[in-house]
A = this chain, B = another copy of it.
Amino acid sequence: MDIQDRKSIRVDASGMLYNTANPQSFLNEEIHAMRPGLQNASANLLLKRSQGELDFSALLIEMKDQAPLIQAFADDAAEHFDSFVLLGIGGSALGPQAVHQALRPYYYNELTQEKRNQRPRFYVVDNIDPVRFSELLSGLDLNKTLFNVVSKSGNTSETMAQFLIVRERLKAECGDQYHQHIVVTTDREKGNLAALAESEGYRRFEIPQGIGGRFSELTPVGLLPAAVCGIDILELMDGAIAMDERVREETELFENPAQLRAALAYLSLKQGKTMSVFMPYADGLKLMADWYAQLWAESLGKRYNRQGEKVWQGQTPIKALGVTDQHSQVQLYVEGPNDKVFTFVTVEQFKEDILIPKAPEVAQNLQFLGGHRMSELLHSELIATKYALTLAGRLHQTIVLPELTPFTVGQLLLLLQWETAYMGELLDVNAFDQPGVEEGKIGTYALMGKPGFAKRKVEIEAWIEATQRKQSNVQEDCGFREPAYDKIECEADTPRS
């Protein structure tokens, strides 16, 4: 692929490359010293790919082949329903929201049906706040609403609780036809949702076995809601496939943006950059920062490496938005500790622009604004921010999107997924599991009285009691003398940092 292609996204890493003014910037040799590690990473990942263990990449063509089927269902749904409500959390929700925001109008749900091209309103319920859920349900005409229940395991407590509530309301409102208002996206065979789809007759789309939540946007998880809202999912897949081809093989480091970004991320982390700020300069990409934050945090934040050694690994993703957060976070970014590495994302050509008119005479020091386009102000602010960070010795790079289209968004998704996979290899952690969330799930089961978790319930209740005792002691005499819950077995062996 021609890297100069007008529609190809590219990475400008110059803000991290060596300059004498900044002792923290990276020497050419340092960067190229990453090559053996990346060759190794590439070989490992391609082997996994050939063995069916890297399906976010390996199944792209298969997913594209399914697109027409998804599109047909989506077009039919758009004809029959006014609202499309996705029930899901984590990877089931972040990708669909990010892609929707990038490729549909910002105020989509407030547009008339005509301006939405006869497509349904789109809601993603990714939490179990009872107030918000009540408000949403009471505002919907259930007879004109399609619910998409998304959970690979069919076990996600939050999503299944939403589903049970919705199922009951649909039965009351729509009678025998209630099952027509539910479409599930789940594993092919396993789990409650597959069983329920079978027994209650819901239309079902399948999430391939080998694709975890945070890598699932380009499966029916993301393709169905995108298609329902009128996004060109074939173009999205084409962008993804183009990037996959571009980055999956080991090449010259500077020609492979995923490997380059992984190498620079690794070097930054080793240098003490414990945080990675992802800061798009476009409102349409705000939620892409949320999607990326899950990908980076869950994939790399790991207690053990692949040899089973405790490493407490990870780099913390920070979501930001330009220019907005210049007025909120940039003070810290410029003057705070030099513990962050920055990724800006910029859109070269916005699909609309506005000329700023001349200011009235009385406002003399606003005259400089008149005659510029709004995008010029935005782009100038990005340059000025990068310059200010450079002067303060901060490292930054920029992902450049020629324009914001399904083709560039598809590329961006795969770029960031591959970069994460490479980084997992460099850090020697399993980038595809999430063992650290089990404890919380088990605790919830215990507290909600799920059979088989009684012992944990006793344990947690003892802890709560000890905690309350501690608090009341504190209120009595501003302190407590006895360690209150030292009997809990725990792995609190993190070293003082």
Contacts and interface: CB of A to CB of B under 8 A. Distances in A.
Contact of A352 (B15, B131, B441): B131
Contacts of A160: 359, 363, 366, 369
A460 B384 contact: yes
A129 B282 contact: yes
Contacts of A143: none
Contact of A328 (B293, B392, B435, B468): B293
A199 B360 CA distance: 10
Q: How many residues of A sit at the interface, in one of the four size bands? A: 35 or more
Contact of A368 (B330, B381, B392, B450): B450
Contacts of A332: 297-298, 300-301, 314, 316, 436
Contact of A488 (B21, B319, B365): B21
Nearest to A321: B127
B135 A492 contact: no
A130 B375 contact: yes
Given A105-B135, A387-B443, A440-B330, A339 B274 contact: yes
Interface stretch (A44-52, A164-172, A235-243): A164-172
A106 interface: yes
Interface in A6-36: 12-15, 17-24, 28, 31-32
Interface in A94-128: 94, 105-107, 109-111, 115, 126-128
Interface stretch (A70-78, A225-233, A475-483): A475-483
B323 A436 contact: no
A19 B485 contact: yes
B448 A376 contact: yes
A491 interface: yes
A457 B305 CA distance: 48
Contacts of A91: 327
A306 interface: no
A317 B93 CA distance: 24
A175 interface: no
A484 B439 contact: no
Interface string A180-221: 000000000000100110111000000000000110000000
Interface string A462-497: 011001101100110011110111101011111011
Contacts of A134: 352-354
A368 B445 contact: yes
A351 interface: yes
A253 B478 contact: yes
As for how many copies of this chain the complex holds, the number is 2
Contacts of A391: 439, 488, 490-492
A87 to B, nearest CB: 13
Nearest to A285: B129
A444 B381 contact: yes
Contacts of A255: 475
A356 interface: yes
Nearest to A158: B323
A164 B368 CA distance: 12
B393 A497 contact: no
Contacts of A388: 436, 439-440, 443
Nearest to A252: B478
A179 to B, nearest CB: 12
Nearest to A315: B336
A66 interface: no
B483 A356 contact: no
Interface string A421-451: 0000000000000111101111111111111
A283 B131 contact: yes
Interface in A247-299: 252-255, 271-272, 274-275, 282-284, 290, 293-294, 297-298
A133 to B, nearest CB: 6
Nearest to A479: B28
Contacts of A158: 323, 327, 377, 381
Contacts of A318: 316, 318
A280 to B, nearest CB: 10
Contact of A127 (B253, B283, B356, B383): B283
B195 A363 contact: yes
14 contacts: A23-B492, A157-B377, A164-B356, A253-B478, A274-B275, A294-B329, A298-B328, A319-B319, A326-B440, A331-B437, A383-B447, A383-B460, A385-B440, A391-B488
Can you list the 9 inter-chain pairs with the closest CB atoms, starting with the nearest? A384-B443, A90-B327, A301-B332, A314-B336, A393-B492, A301-B336, A368-B450, A388-B439, A272-B497
Given A214-B328, A302-B335, 5 more contacts: A126-B324, A129-B374, A131-B282, A158-B327, A275-B316
